Structure 1
């Protein structure tokens, strides 16, 4: 048995009737795949996909974080499902179906994943929607789980069978769980003190805290003192970021809208080369341009930049250990700038600043904040924080994530993977809109998930993403 980290547990605690912590992917495939194929695939590869084999075990009285235990009787017939759109199904119909599936919470009595084979798409295509709870995977481990189901050629690889366990599986009894929880509660004040010491130099990058008057000054003074005492390279300061209110700020509903689009990676690279920026700079600028157009359409464009939460992995190269190892950096999105090139330059500068800070002193505040709170109180604290955020503009306006993926064709049971669109998380605290980008085989596959009531016209955002890319491409060609 493996215990969830404090951060893993937070993804369980944030769930309410409206805040759901599913992360998923929508794979578009060539036709021919059957549910029987998927059942055979999963049966033969469960041993290399740990999150698909484990279920939660709670600690009595909530005294400590839950544990993962191997589920000896995984019911694949329950987890692997199929449905059909009215043929010929459109992208909009597919997005609506995914919206409904994604809004449903996973059954915590079982391993926290579900898979849906979706028939009826136009053009002899099929879709495969796979969702996993965020408590079980982050971006890196989620990609690893996906990779375990994919092949680099039409002929499925023959994986070695599962090796028999050397002994009986480790079991932690209720009494031992309680004892461990009590022991952690005793040392919790030390964790709090350590957090305060580590966090002071980084107050300006913690959402909400960074907006408190004086937080930036305290951070700068503390970092300057550390530089003089240690001689380490000083960490650049972040500007004070005021979060504007938008139509997707506040309390989200239980309902979702999902849209997706494929952008040309070659065109993004063309822009990157023309302006001497990175692919991620271009992606963030395209998102900023699309959001600007959407807010102009709704007469809701703030006169200051939106504040985006940008997930960063804390893993070192080669680290594929279980659990979440992720943090969120905050960056200005320059949506208030009309000129696309000026917007690109502003986004480049904002992203360079947070990358410089992360490389010099990785931001671990998300993990540290989770570690500070006694386990029995984390659920209450998370819900209280989300209730507070729902009455304000929130700590950030939205999350934008750009995940690099493989640039070769991949296959599922001999069916070629044509596209892979991420389907991520929205919450009261992170805003009712999330844009996640995954690069695959020459394409940037963009998934846009939103609260149905806040952003009912989510497909217009994907149109504006294409417009923003075309606008920058035209300027780049004139350079």
Structure 2
């Protein structure tokens, strides 16, 4: 993950108090040694070394062109955050930064913006979110930590327990299905690492364009980070109506949006379904860990928190097709996700990466990691955020939009829930997807169509 960085854009509802924000960041990182370390080379080997941190060097207040900001503040923020993907960080300092943009944008309630850039070695989305929430407070009660939503029990063959009255044959069959699906998934995972590569499409650069060397080393272009708000209540409305999960709905929206964009851009009138593959990062911590870890940090038990990167990967099929019924995308997504829940793929991919790292060193781990992203088309993830509005060092938070850059894929799709909002965030290589705002519009429009179809379905059922 040497070239992989996390970028989080946070909209604030008040002007930025720089001294208060700096003091808050200093208190945030002081107990955690990983935020005080740099990588050094000794005798040809690299290791982490602790250094003294000057927080002021990690708080950036850029001087932007006032004319450009006044003319289009949204574009000014977008351009600045995009610039983070091409300007390297100073290796003599720990690799994390806070960029403060103290001017309003067109997004309702946003008075200022904070862009956080951190190297992925500091943690995955869950651990970084836990750290952020541990330093935030509830807007309703500034003395209280943010409340996380109650996470539903994970379903699927991995987590299900056979009823006591189930016969021996039923138990044997369920284990056979689980092992068979796991074996098939691992074969496809191994083939992906070795040779199986998604075809060139409007979402994936051609293999001979010189952007990667086949092992995941990627000479990336300027990266763009754009986001759009969806109603979390509307997402749950579709979920309940379709008897599925939030992830099913979000995957269905992504499939519909990518289908709309693909058939418009390619001009392909073939009605045959096209299948691309996405890398889905899965948090392997317990489902209750977010709130539990936040509480641990508050009670000075941060050493018990599972920091770092605790992720497994699933190779998830994204189906591109033009369906007359928008709900067909959600049904297909549910079918895909249900199939993956009857497999131990996520556990084995995590353990395989760990074994390669231990046996062959960083280069072995990097080979697995790089090939997985080079040979697939996009990445997909969904993060759960606070169920209420929060404040960050006295600043009301309007939205949270995490993303990443540094992998060889031209498109990364993130979803982030916060309060009553579901943010869809796209990280795109603008050379491959120059009309990225149109792709973002496709997400909004696809969700509207799915919502309308859900309302019509329920109205029809009620009428009957």
- Tell me the TM-score normalized by structure 1: 0.72
Per-residue deviation, 1:330:
1.1
* Cα distance between partner residues in 2 of 1:356 and 1:54: 40
Query: For 2:70, what is the secondary structure of its paired residue?
Result: strand
1:465 corresponding residue in structure 2: 443
User: Which of the numbers 263, 269, 289 marks the counterpart of 2:256?
Assistant: 289
Per-residue deviation, 1:244:
3.4
Whether 1:371 and 2:351 are equivalent positions in the alignment is no
Query: For 1:334, what is the secondary structure of its paired residue?
Result: strand
* Cα distance between partner residues in 2 of 1:328 and 1:113: 25
User: Which of the numbers 198, 205, 209 marks the counterpart of 2:190?
Assistant: 209
Alignment of 1:181-196 (within 5 A): none
Return 5+ residue gaps in structure 2 as ranges.
Answer: 146-178, 206-210, 212-217, 294-304, 458-464
User: Which of the numbers 90, 93, 111 marks the counterpart of 2:73?
Assistant: 90
Return 5+ residue gaps in structure 1 as ranges.
Answer: 1-10, 16-20, 160-197, 216-240
Which region of structure 1 is more displaced relative to structure 2, 96-105 or 81-90?
A: 81-90
User: Which of the numbers 376, 384, 389 marks the counterpart of 1:396?
Assistant: 376
1:151 corresponding residue in structure 2: 137
Give the conservation status (yes or no) of the 8 Å contact 1:154–1:416.
no
Per-residue deviation, 1:472:
0.5
Give the conservation status (yes or no) of the 8 Å contact 2:28–2:135.
yes
2:275 corresponding residue in structure 1: 305
Give the conservation status (yes or no) of the 8 Å contact 1:51–1:137.
no
User: Which of the numbers 425, 442, 453 marks the counterpart of 2:405?
Assistant: 425
Aligned length: 386
2:390 corresponding residue in structure 1: 410
Per-residue deviation, 1:84:
5.4
* Cα distance between partner residues in 1 of 2:181 and 2:346: 14
Give the conservation status (yes or no) of the 8 Å contact 1:27–1:421.
yes
Query: For 2:375, what is the secondary structure of its paired residue?
Result: coil
Whether 1:245 and 2:200 are equivalent positions in the alignment is yes
Per-residue deviation, 1:145:
2.0
2:12 corresponding residue in structure 1: 29
* Cα distance between partner residues in 1 of 2:188 and 2:97: 32
Whether 1:66 and 2:68 are equivalent positions in the alignment is no
User: Which of the numbers 437, 440, 450 marks the counterpart of 2:428?
Assistant: 450
Query: For 2:204, what is the secondary structure of its paired residue?
Result: coil
- Tell me the TM-score normalized by structure 2: 0.74
Render the CA deviation track for 1:43-96: whole Å, top value 9, x for unaligned. 23323455433333445322xx633x443x211111011125513643333222
* Cα distance between partner residues in 2 of 1:407 and 1:345: 27
Render the CA deviation track for 1:90-116: whole Å, top value 9, x for unaligned. 333322211111333333322120110
Cα pair distance change 1:207/1:54, threshold 3 Å? farther
* Cα distance between partner residues in 2 of 1:310 and 1:389: 11
Per-residue deviation, 1:383:
6.6
Per-residue deviation, 1:33:
1.4
Query: For 1:445, what is the secondary structure of its paired residue?
Result: strand
Cα pair distance change 1:117/1:436, threshold 3 Å? same
Whether 1:55 and 2:38 are equivalent positions in the alignment is yes
Give the conservation status (yes or no) of the 8 Å contact 1:423–1:447.
yes
